[in-house]
Structure 1
Amino acid sequence: MKLTIKSVISLTILISFLCTSIPASAQGNQPFHFGFKKSKGGKLPSIAEEGFMGILQKQNAIFLGNTGQKELYLTFDNGYENGYTAKILDDLKELKVPAIFFVTGHFVKDQPELVKRMVAEGHLVGNHSWSHPDMSQVSKIQIKDELEKVRVEVEKLTGQQEMRFVRAPRGIFSDRMLGVCNELGYINVFWSIAYRDWEPKQQKGWNYAYVNVMEQLHPGAVLLLHSVSKDNAEALKKIIVDARLQGYEFKSLNQMEMKQYR
């Protein structure tokens, strides 16, 4: 089939029309997996090359604290209990370190006493969704339902009336999803220190966890640790003690003053 100049122009106009007709809502649904260039030698990590820095800035999501201060924010993801959260809480209590635990519906229902203990000992409980779905792929109503179930159940257990912080399951997010969480009164929390620690059958010893965390320390860091990790539970006390020896102070997310994106 031979294309005439007229038909080529018509086809070009049609393609242009179709491309510009994609609604903004569809563009805002593009999913991203949170990732970053790791810190080395105390230098700041970066998300500049990941393609979503503008979205996090627009939605006021947390990735870093005050990068001009040697402060650390300790966060745990609690999807389910693997026998180590009590030890983690013991060490935090002994060393007087605040943390936030992002819990799922399964954890809340399965471990009510641990959730009560978190709040009673001065920690924050954050929202990690009820059923741990990819929230970039569900509706606004479903997002609200996922988060509200967790908030209500935690309040019933602990009396914690305010739940300010949310963490996207598996670190998958979209502009729309972050915006919906904002509308519901949440601050989206990501991280600037992490390693592959969430596989119980792939534990490599406490020193492996210790080295992975300590090599990434930097001012204003938000640490992500999974409570199912035996390595994390065994390394936590030494991480805290040695970080303090380097001049770092552990703070609660409620104390975060600013963030800088790089």
Structure 2
Amino acid sequence: MKKVMFLTILCLLCSFSYSTSATPSEETYGYGYKKQYNEQPPDLGFYAPLIEKYNGIYMGDPNKKKVYLTFDNGYEQGYTSTVLDVLKEKQVPATFFLTGHYVDDEKELVKRMVKEGHIIGNHSNKHLDFTKASESKIKQDLKALDEKIKSYTNQDSVLFFRPAEGRFNEKSLEITNNLGYVNVFWTVAFVDWHSDRKNGWKHAFNEVMEQIHPGAIILLHTVSQDNADALSHLIDELRKRGYEFGSIEDLLWEKHVPLH
């Protein structure tokens, strides 16, 4: 947490001197990429330089067998405790991107996340599409959720942000960056947010393993029983293949992310 606090202060100090020479585009994008398989990182096309321009991250070092677990939590279906149990047993760090609704309704789980060494990121208080919101509304939304997180836990700052539904534009990247947030995207994900679809743990396991690659930021949703049941198998298999699990916080240092 000391690293998070330091990085946040540094980011906020630098933001005062940050400016761009051109007006950022307001064209809306739905984040995506072309999968490569065979432990090769996906092709992000123009998204990669655009995200990097505003100091965002989407993967770690593609030459290091290190991966990063992240979870998006909009509401609870009873599986997050299992996920936390597995992470604790396997000693694996994770980042949980939460909405305001989740923080309001699941205070004990939120407290547990931080108590057990995980990081909480901002996923928009109201799960807003920031490409359709004014700058003042974006600031208000982010601040509201940050204050909830800090009031319920001992996490004293919120550094990481993930856009709702992966929707963003250059303007939203600039605004969140200038506010001191690091936008976190991903390189491994699949359709796993439909809580009524149960395909078994092997389905989730195979979806992740066929996309895995060195430096992967993995996005999973905790509303999926398949994910909860697969997590232990995934961790064991990845370690068997020589992978380590890192923290998004450490990734900033490893990649030397320039904070403005």
TM-score by length of 2: 0.87
Gaps of at least 5 residues in structure 1 are: 1-23
**Cα distance in structure 2, aligned partners of 1:54 and 1:125:** 26
Q: 1:102 to 1:151 in 2, by over 3 A?
A: same
The structural deviation recorded for 1:203 is 2.2
**Cα distance in structure 1, aligned partners of 2:180 and 2:28:** 21
- Aligned amino acid, residue 218 of structure 1: H
Match of 2:30 among 18, 30, 33: 33
Contact 1:67 1:259 in 2 (8 A): no
- Aligned amino acid, residue 234 of structure 1: D
Match of 1:46 among 43, 47, 53: 43
**Cα distance in structure 1, aligned partners of 2:243 and 2:27:** 37
Alignment correspondent of 2:16:
none
- Aligned amino acid, residue 170 of structure 2: D
Q: 1:168 to 1:259 in 2, by over 3 A?
A: farther
Match of 1:211 among 201, 206, 209: 206
Match of 1:110 among 102, 105, 111: 105
The structural deviation recorded for 1:259 is 8.4
Match of 1:86 among 45, 59, 81: 81
Write the mapping of 1:8-157 to structure 2, written as runs, cut at 5 A.
Answer: 25=23, 28-48=25-45, 51-157=46-152
Alignment correspondent of 2:172:
177
Write the mapping of 1:159-170 to structure 2, written as runs, cut at 5 A.
Answer: 159-170=154-165
- Aligned amino acid, residue 171 of structure 2: R
The structural deviation recorded for 1:183 is 1.1
Q: Secondary structure at the match of 2:56?
A: coil
Gaps of at least 5 residues in structure 2 are: 1-21
Q: 1:209 to 1:259 in 2, by over 3 A?
A: farther
- Aligned amino acid, residue 97 of structure 2: F
The structural deviation recorded for 1:236 is 0.3
Count residues with an aligned counterpart. 234
**Cα distance in structure 2, aligned partners of 1:52 and 1:241:** 32
Does residue 196 (structure 1) correspond to residue 196 (structure 2)? The answer is no
Alignment correspondent of 1:7:
none
Q: CA RMSD in A?
A: 1.3
Structure 1 stretch 87-96 or stretch 53-62: which is displaced more?
53-62
- Aligned amino acid, residue 26 of structure 2: N
Q: Secondary structure at the match of 2:139?
A: helix
The structural deviation recorded for 1:189 is 0.4
Structure with higher Rg: it is: 1
**Cα distance in structure 1, aligned partners of 2:38 and 2:159:** 32
Alignment correspondent of 2:9:
none
- Aligned amino acid, residue 153 of structure 1: K
- Aligned amino acid, residue 130 of structure 2: M
- Aligned amino acid, residue 38 of structure 1: K
Contact 1:71 1:251 in 2 (8 A): yes
TM-score by length of 1: 0.87
- Aligned amino acid, residue 113 of structure 2: M
1:53-88 CA distances to partner (integer Å, 9 max, x unpaired)? 332121121111011100000000001111100000
